[in-house]
Chains A and B, each alone.
Chain A
Amino acid sequence: MQDMDKIKILIADDHAVVREGTRQILEEEPDLQVVAQAADGEEAVNLADRFKPDLAIIDISMPKVDGIEATRRIKAAYPAMAVLILTAYDDDQFVFSLLEAGAAGYLLKSVRGKELVDAVRQVHAGESVLHPAIARKVLNRFVAKPDQPGIRKEKVLSDRETEVLRLATRGLSNQDIADKLCLSLRTVQAHLGHIFNKLQVSSRTEAVVMALKEGWISLEDVP
């Protein structure tokens, strides 16, 4: 990583002990810094507003405003802020709702510390992507329930960018994509950066979800 600045993180969880545990796991890493902790969704939105972290780790079940609504509000105010969901719920339905709300990643609380740290770094680097099985389900959902026709966005991506995104949908890492398209890693990263900018998103996940939703990527592209 060229960026030696620490990744600033907000944690929102109503269980103090779990929240503290998450903080400890993250702070053991030299490149991660927890800048704020919220005990409910409303506080999370307020703290995101005050501290402008790079990434927010949010639980679903929280008092006042739940994690889904908090994600929606944070993404509406700060499209570039990545949201990683850390929850005890494991059903797809939450994944769908959260992806639609703009979350970049979805992790179960029972993940090992190392996986959590990796996920944070990946999401921050715009690398995290949907599990192919979930991507397929998301796609089926959008096919079954097409967004209101007529207000579909004009395809804004170039062919090359679409190609990169299509490979990203399959779960390939940046390096894999670079190898496959005979490009340098930097170029792939640059392409993804452009894609994020054009789509006003902060992660591959969101970019893929939007592309699926808008129909720029089709069923055959999902493994």
Chain B
Amino acid sequence: MEYNIFAQHLKDYLRRPGFWFILLILILLTLLHYSEVFEYPPSFVSWISGLGLDRHAFERILYLAPIVWAGFMFGWQGALVVSVVALGCMLPRGIFISEHPADAILETSIVFLIGNVLAISFASLRKEREYRKQLEISQQEQQKIAEELKVMQQNLRYYLQQATKAQEEERKRISHELHDDTIQALVVLSRQLDSLASKKEGMSEENRVRLEDLWHQTDNILKGVRRLSQDLRPAALDRLGLMPALEWLASNVSEHSGIATEVNVTGEERRLPEEVAIALFRITQEALRNVWRHSGATRAQIDVEFVDAVTRITVSDNGKGFNIPRKLGDMAKDGKLGLTGMQERAQLVSGTLTVRSTAGEGTVVTVEIPG
């Protein structure tokens, strides 16, 4: 494993041109360092001697270049390797050939040290720069993702809004169709049966009883269809407005669940835009459905407040309450879609939904919608 990683690194290094370039420079420098044939131009020699250096000291300084560069390219480990190689190249001359071995060894050591120090600082500088660049990139990416997420969320909300609208429209259409066509047709049928059954002459008792029975069946169908139509969309909501619809809802809940449900209103009742009225109605309906299903309450209350520019409905019960998750959104994960759906519905008309509940002390759901 270790070996594999090492081999992989080595392979990577061998592929980089910088590695070969550094090797080439080391070879060239070493050739120069040991060559007795090559002569520097005299003007150059006099210039470096002006700096207090002889030819070999100058060459030793040149060894700094590949060390520092290796630091740049491969980090401090690379610099260390190259500086050790450079040390290996320089030392034989200092020890065996140089006229002043002590000076030469000192110079070589200084080059080794300075090379490493420079390489380490350059490497860390470079690393920091890379890190910063990456940070910048990741920040940009994060921002981009956040923006995309926002757009997606907006789209989702829009689709949800359209879907909700379409659903309500469809419910309304079917409800009206049931009322305007199906129920009327059943009324006609029921009347014909009634008039037939009420005919005084020329009918056996058996047939009369049968007609009577048919009339009852028709009447039951009529009631069923009427209930279906009302459940889809309470006629009171469209014809009379929010308050009568809520009163219908309360009496309906009281009747079917046995939970005494009351409606109270404060403030001047006003006609709300259809979208707002239907949202408030559906949220109240869902809240009462929850009371019925989960709370075990015996009483529930719908308080409607018409304040300046806000309509607020509070649904409270005396049931057993529940522990609310920190975020209402988390309810969806638990499969409790009711509250999440109510919250979505409120947000679609720029409203807010809050739920307060303490185990054993009932639940209070408040929805507030401007308008």
Contact = CB atoms under 8 A, between A and B. Distances in A.
B195 interface: yes
Interface string B173-192: 00000011001111110111
A68 B226 contact: no
Contact of B183 (A21, A88, A97): A88
B230 interface: yes
Interface in B63-81: none
Interface stretch (B35-43, B149-157, B236-244, B350-358): B236-244
Given A91-B230, A91-B235, A114-B198, A21 B191 contact: yes
B236 A91 contact: yes
Contact of B179 (A21, A61, A113): A61
Interface stretch (B122-130, B245-253, B284-292): B245-253
Contact of B184 (A18, A24, A68, A92): A18
Contact of B188 (A21, A92, A113): A21
B251 A92 contact: yes
A113 B226 CA distance: 20
Interface in A78-116: 88-94, 96-97, 109-110, 112-114
Contacts of A24: 195
Contacts of B226: 88-90
Contacts of B198: 112-114
Contact of B187 (A66, A92, A110): A110
Contacts of A114: 198
B195 A113 contact: yes
Given A21-B191, A93-B244, A88 B239 contact: no
Contact of A91 (B185, B187, B248): B248
Interface residues of B, number: 30
A68 B235 CA distance: 13
B277 interface: no
B246 to A, nearest CB: 9
Nearest to B190: A110
A109 B41 CA distance: 123
Contacts of B302: none
A101 to B, nearest CB: 11
Name B's interface SS: helix
A219 B187 CA distance: 37
B184 A17 contact: yes
Given A91-B235, A93-B245, A113 B194 contact: yes
A68 B188 contact: no
Contacts of A25: 191, 195
B305 interface: no
A82 to B, nearest CB: 22
Contacts of B82: none
A15 interface: yes
A113 to B, nearest CB: 6
Contacts of B259: none
A60 interface: yes
Interface string A1-40: 0000000000000010110010011000000000000000
B180 A61 contact: yes
Given A61-B179, A90-B226, A18 B245 contact: no
A89 B225 CA distance: 11
Contacts of B244: 93, 96-97
Interface in B203-236: 219, 222, 226, 230, 234-236
Contacts of A88: 179, 183-184, 187, 226
A205 to B, nearest CB: 19
A84 B194 CA distance: 21
Contacts of B251: 92
A61 B239 contact: yes
A17 B245 CA distance: 30
Contacts of B187: 18, 21, 88, 109-110
A93 B184 contact: no
Nearest to B230: A91
B194 A68 contact: no
Interface string A99-136: 00000000001101110000000000000000000000
B352 to A, nearest CB: 28
B239 A18 contact: no
A112 B190 CA distance: 8
26 contacts: A15-B180, A18-B187, A21-B188, A25-B195, A66-B239, A68-B239, A88-B179, A88-B183, A88-B184, A88-B226, A89-B179, A89-B226, A90-B226, A91-B236, A92-B247, A93-B240, A94-B235, A94-B236, A94-B239, A109-B183, A110-B186, A110-B187, A112-B198, A113-B194, A144-B264, A145-B265
Given A61-B180, A88-B179, A109-B183, 19 more contacts: A15-B184, A21-B188, A21-B191, A24-B195, A25-B191, A61-B235, A68-B240, A88-B187, A93-B244, A93-B245, A94-B235, A94-B239, A96-B244, A97-B244, A110-B219, A110-B222, A112-B198, A144-B264, A145-B265
